[in-house]
Structure 1
Amino acid sequence: MGSKYGVIVMGPAGAGKTTFCSALIEHLRNNRRSCFYINLDPAAEDFVYEPDVDIKDLISLEDVMEELHLGPNGGLIYCFEFLLDNLDFITDPLETVTDEYLIIIDMPGQIELYSHVPVLPNLVRHLAHGSLNISMCAAYLLESTFIVDRAKFFSGTLSAMSAMLLLELPHVNILSKMDLVKGQVARKDLKRFIDPDISLLQDVPDSGLVYDANENLETPDPTESQSVMTGESFARLNRAVGQLIDEFSLVSFLKLDVQNEDSVGSVLSYIDDAIQFHESQEPREPMDDVQDDGDMG
């Protein structure tokens, strides 16, 4: 059997992951493509499209918190560790999924999963390099309203970069809910956020992100209390991180408005390129579409 294809949808809480998954499924169906939807958020309840596999059928966050007296974050980690001990819950249904399907995996929003906890890399490794051989990419969503607050934006950019390093997957970073910032940010300014520009740190001195752009100034000792108290140490750290993002082009963003089908289709084309979906597809005859109308996934 050839490779399977999938995208794992990630990002902080409130970024619009499940809404994006629903818009992606609708777009795929409208374009006569099959998909297989997996929900891995043990606290999610409302879905536009019922998942083909739902982690709550295996374990729910509410039950874990009640029975083990854990908080939301600890309970979530327990749910994923339990999932790793019962991987056949996911792998068995995926065995019959063909390479014509796009597997969409909807993740929870707790940032710990994408920063320092090893459960997600272990899951991805099993799906991508195990017997299923799923060619995967990660779609990391960041709410576009973050660009109004530079500190939030660069914090979110660092989170996206952390997820890239942790998972070692092709990555598509997305600014979601673009409809919320229409009229608030000029198009020329928006470009500086799509490909994060280090000069953004110079524009707003009251943001706490400002740094001195003069390379010839004497560099203060970052360990001195005066440097810490005046913020000079943090300014140097912000500059170093900004230069890392800027010079190596580690993070750039696509714009997403789920109400706009062209916008959803554009993001999907980047996902398809990242997983090389179209390279494995056989050319289709016109009559194939007619025959497939009755059995779209």
Structure 2
Amino acid sequence: MFTVFIIGMAGSGKSLLTGVFQEWLRFKDQDVLSLNLDPGVLKLPYNPDIDVREYIDIEELMEKYELGPNGALILASDLLADHIEEVQSAIEEHNPDILLVDTPGQIELFAFRESGPFITKTISQEAKAIVYLLDAPFCKNPLNYVSNMFMAAAVYNRLLQPQIYALSKIDLIQESDLETIINWSLELSSLEKSLEETVGEVSAMLTRDLALALHRTELVTEPIPVSSKTEEGFTALYAALTRIARGGEELTY
């Protein structure tokens, strides 16, 4: 089984991509299962095959421990680890070739709590990868782009799994903006120029130094442009995942 964690900042389109990409994979005759790890989500744009909300009830936690919504979400995220065996059993019942994991909307509840790295490590002993979503409309601003890439680097540092960058919601930006964002990932000079044109001198200097540090670590790679509305980029995303999993071979024969 190849496990793919869909991770990104709130609003980047994780759940929608999970659902649409799952259907796309099934149309390609791939044996794929979806897992929702967000205990606090009220409504999803797809029907997950396995849902952590069956094991954790946010409202029950709020009432039992006299917590507000945020406190209950933090507790629920920590409790995810306690239910890992139940989740594993549900996965084993289906025995898929591909598992798509839709992570919590608030990235810090998964990547920066102890339960996130634990679940990532223990959910399966087979091949895994992270698809980190970069929200294209948000990343049009070079300052936002650098901030998001630093968040992605922090996620990699926490979870230590092969990581692919996907530029989501490209149907909401102009082609020229898409080309600009791609160039930022390929040429540091292009990003430096955009920063100087967008923000003040002091802010540009700080952000430029941060961007330089990222490029030196080689964690900045060209993102794959995708759209959950048009399914553009899904073939490229799947190809990148198969290269990680099996050297480019189909995951389901």
TM-score of Structure 1 vs Structure 2, range by shorter chain: 0.7 to 0.9
Q: Determine the structure 1 residue equivalent to 2:18.
A: 21
Mapped partners of 2:152, 2:68: distance in 1: 25
Deviating beyond 6 angstroms after TM superposition, the runs of 4 or more aligned structure 1 residues are: none
Contact 1:15–1:176 at 8 Å: present in 2 too?
yes
Aligned counterpart for 1:122 among listed residues 97, 118, 131: 118
Question: CA, structure 1 residues 196+54, in 2 after alignment: closer, same or farther (shift >3 Å)?
Answer: farther
Q: In structure 2, the residue corresponding to 1:139 is in which secondary structure?
A: strand
Contact 1:5–1:135 at 8 Å: present in 2 too?
yes
Unaligned residue ranges in structure 1 (runs of 5+)? 211-230, 285-297
Contact 2:16–2:46 at 8 Å: present in 1 too?
no
Q: In structure 1, the residue corresponding to 2:233 is in which secondary structure?
A: helix
User: Structure 1-normalised TM-score?
Assistant: 0.75
How big is the shift at 1:6? Answer: 1.0
How big is the shift at 1:58? Answer: 0.6
Contact 1:7–1:137 at 8 Å: present in 2 too?
yes
CA deviation map 1:219-252 (0-9, x unaligned) = xxxxxxxxxxxx4xx6554333211222333122
The amino acid that maps onto 1:156 is: N
> Could you tell which deviates more after superposition, 109-118 or 163-172?
109-118
Mapped partners of 1:237, 1:115: distance in 2: 25
Mapped partners of 1:262, 1:186: distance in 2: 13
Contact 2:35–2:102 at 8 Å: present in 1 too?
yes
Q: In structure 2, the residue corresponding to 1:258 is in which secondary structure?
A: coil
Unaligned residue ranges in structure 2 (runs of 5+)? none
Q: In structure 2, the residue corresponding to 1:134 is in which secondary structure?
A: coil
- For the pair shown, the structure with the greater C-alpha radius of gyration is 1
The amino acid that maps onto 1:245 is: L
Mapped partners of 2:59, 2:189: distance in 1: 43
Aligned counterpart for 1:270 among listed residues 235, 240, 248: 240
The amino acid that maps onto 1:103 is: L
User: Structure 2-normalised TM-score?
Assistant: 0.87
Aligned counterpart for 2:3 among listed residues 2, 6, 9: 6
Q: Percent identity?
A: 24
Mapped partners of 2:172, 2:250: distance in 1: 37
CA deviation map 1:161-189 (0-9, x unaligned) = 110111000001111000111255263x2
How big is the shift at 1:50? Answer: 1.8
Q: Determine the structure 2 residue equivalent to 1:176.
A: 168
RMSD: 2.6
The amino acid that maps onto 1:254 is: I
CA deviation map 1:46-94 (0-9, x unaligned) = 3343212111111133332343233444322211222212222211112
The amino acid that maps onto 2:210 is: V
Aligned pairs, number: 252
Question: CA, structure 1 residues 173+72, in 2 after alignment: closer, same or farther (shift >3 Å)?
Answer: farther
